[in-house]
């Protein structure tokens, strides 16, 4: 599930926060939009918008608190050569209480907390905190 475009999107997000940029622009895909919805739901980004031009870009508005980024670490797990799948009972909980794991399930992308409450396992994509 973690394709090069999705991996590129997450690394661009990490680098934009590290550089202190107020917005990030990246090529859009359905998975990138789903990740942006998940990040907005967990207050890790302020908002996002997609463009309808032929290039189809997604723009994220980033959040900073006292000039410190809302997201400090992004760790990728699944790669094209190595997929990591977990049952709902064995999903990890993260390095801090604010960290979320992005899980690709049969019902779409969701956090580990949502997947655990719905008792759905899936492919472990990334940890964000």
Residue-wise pLDDT for 4-36, tens only, equals 788 899 999 999 999 999 999 999 999 999 999
Q: What average pLDDT does the segment 93-104 reach?
A: 87
| CATH number assigned to the domain covering 4-69 | 3.30.1370.30
> What local confidence, expressed as pLDDT, does residue 96 receive?
80
Q: Using an 8 Å Cβ cutoff, are 61 and 68 in contact?
A: no
| CATH number assigned to the domain covering 74-128 | 3.30.1490.10
Angle between helices 30-41 and 4-19 (to 10 degrees): 40
Domain ranges of the chain: 4-69, 74-128
């Amino acid at each position: 599930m973690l394709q090069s475009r999705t991996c590129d999107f997450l690394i661009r997000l990490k680098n934009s926060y590290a550089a202190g940029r107020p917005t990030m622009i990246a090529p859009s895909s359905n998975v990138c939009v789903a990740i942006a919805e998940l990040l907005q739901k967990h207050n890790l980004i302020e908002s996002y918008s997609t463009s309808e031009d032929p290039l189809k870009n997604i723009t994220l508005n980033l959040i900073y608190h006292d000039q410190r980024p809302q997201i400090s670490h992004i760790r990728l797990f699944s790669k094209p050569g190595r997929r990591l799948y977990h049952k709902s009972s064995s999903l990890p909980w993260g390095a801090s209480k604010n960290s979320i794991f992005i899980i690709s399930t049969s019902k779409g992308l969701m956090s580990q907390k949502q997947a655990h409450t719905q008792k759905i396992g899936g492919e472990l994509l990334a940890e964000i905190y």
